[in-house]
Amino acid sequence: MEKQRKLKYNEIVTQGDLVKVKTLAEHEMESGVRRDEKTGVIYPRLIIYKVTARYNGKVVFKANWFSGVSANPYLAFYFRADKSGLIEIEWEDDYSKSTFKRGYLKVLDKDGNELLPVNFSL
């Protein structure tokens, strides 16, 4: 079954505002310290060790995690957006298996026009 990845933020902001991004990943985060009660065998470590946030392809925030992060890790951070664009969160597993979640952020100027990431004239 697919594990859930959640990404939440204000989808429409005005220019210069801080954007709070809240993420949640469904993951056991096996810390590698627990033992099986009967056999005494240690469960191997399996955690999300890296979370990368990109905005329009540029890295905005990065988290390196170790075994001390709780199961189903929640993470909230901020960034500032000048132009509208693509938010991209990548969770990377111990086996380098990565999962993505993407979203579009709309940035408006004072008049209510959208500031597009690409400048072109028709």
Partner 1 sequence: MKVMLNRRLFCGFILGFFSKYYAYKTFADGRPFRDRFQSYRQTFRVEPDKEEAERIVKNIIKGRKVVSNLINIEIPDIAEDGNVVPVKFSVNCSMSASDYPKRVHVLGLENPFPEIAIYEFFPEGGKAEVSFRCRLRKSSYLMVIADMQDGTVGVEKKYVDVMLGACS
From 1-9, 32-40, 83-91, 100-108, give the range in contact with partner 1 by CB under 8 A: 32-40
Tokens encoding 122: 């028709």
Is residue 6 involved in binding partner 1 (CB under 8 A)?
no
From 2-10, 51-59, 85-93, 105-113, give the range in contact with partner 1 by CB under 8 A: 51-59
Is residue 44 involved in binding partner 1 (CB under 8 A)?
yes
User: Do residues 116 and 107 touch, judged by C-beta distance below 8 A?
Assistant: no
Number of residues that this document lists for the chain: 122
Q: In the range 78-107, which residues lie near partner 1 by CB under 8 A?
A: 78-80
Per DSSP, the three-state class of 104 is: strand
The rounded distance, in Å, linking the Cα atoms of 64 and 88 is 17
72 Cα distance to chain centroid: 13
User: Do residues 13 and 106 touch, judged by C-beta distance below 8 A?
Assistant: yes
Q: Which is nearer to partner 1, 70 or 121 (CB)?
A: 70
Is residue 4 involved in binding partner 1 (CB under 8 A)?
no
Q: Which is nearer to partner 1, 94 or 108 (CB)?
A: 94
Q: Which is nearer to partner 1, 97 or 121 (CB)?
A: 97
The rounded distance, in Å, linking the Cα atoms of 118 and 115 is 9
Provide the binding-site residues for partner 1, judged by CB under 8 A.
18-19, 31-34, 42, 44-45, 55, 58-71, 73-80
